[in-house]
Structure 1
Amino acid sequence: MYVFRQKARTIIIIIIFMNFTLFVTVLLTAVTLVVAAYVIAKLIGPRSYNAVKGEPYESGIPTRGSSWLPMHVGYYLFAILFLMFDIETVLLYPWAVVVRDFGAMALVSIGFFLVVLVLGLAYAWRKGALEWK
């Protein structure tokens, strides 16, 4: 029994070490590629320093007034609706991958999620949040 435990511990330690080694290898490769891309871009990239480069918006049109202008609240509403449906997409993809493993409970849970989402969309539509004013 003791020998079996010792072998099991050894196997577990080897598996953990192999996974850690793989993680460190991938991490170092990613960091190396990012640093190499940055250094290459700095070495061969064009260098032009002038007054226009220091401006926040480089279009050739001189700025008027302050750069902090008030935004129309409609942009915020559309941004929130976009985020709502973006999160839906992020949640639906993994659900679609594992739906067969979880059976009917997965269908009920995603059905509830979609009903709440559609009710939120209907509420926003009814309140006129989708109309540009």
Structure 2
Amino acid sequence: MWWIYALLSAFFAALTAIFAKVGIKGVDTDLATAIRTVVILLIAWAIVIFKGGASSIGGLTRQNWTFLVLSGCATGLSWICYFKALQLGKVSQVAPIDKLSVALAIILAVVFLKETVSIPQAIGALMIIGGSVVLIFA
């Protein structure tokens, strides 16, 4: 079941790139990111409230809060950089290079979370890195 959500994530990320490229024409990318963030904020809270998840907010630990805030900061910085890259470059180059985050996440998971990586996963990560290098210099 996880892979269905992963594929949907990839599909919506692809739509994000196309919609953003059109939407940021002549717009400050930081403003565009702020508008996008408000929309995401409203949708996320609507889903939480609809599913009844808001009641569990009191059970979050200090560690939960710390790392969720750090994740939010990283997401915001990622979006700001992504929108600027889309404004300056082609979607066909920016979006795939942005997916270098997959290989970087694998590396960081090994280093910081002590996750193990299979040979096929390592080969896939190396292929993503190689593909990103090709796209940067293409």
- Provide the TM-score with structure 2 as the length reference: 0.25
Q: Where is the helix percentage greater, Structure 1 or Structure 2?
A: 2
| Structure having the higher Rg | 1
Higher relative contact order (CA 8 A, sep 6+): 2
